[in-house]
Amino acid sequence: MIPELDPVIHAQARLRVTVALAALAPDDRITFPRLQELLTMTAGNLSTHLRKLEDAGYVEITKTHTRRTPVTQVALTGAGRAAFEAYTATLRSLLDS
The topology (CATH level 3) of 7-96 is Arc Repressor Mutant, subunit A (1.10.10)
What is the value of pTM for the model shown?
0.91
**Among 36, 21, 38, which residue's Cα sits nearest to residue 77?**
21
The DSSP secondary-structure symbol of 67 reads T
50-95 pLDDT tens trace: 999 999 999 999 999 988 899 999 999 999 999 999 999 999 998 8
CB-based contacts of 11, cutoff 8 Å, min separation 6: 49, 52
Q: What is the DSSP string of 10-63?
A: HSHHHHHHHHHHHTS-TT--EEHHHHHHHHT--HHHHHHHHHHHHHTTSEEEEE
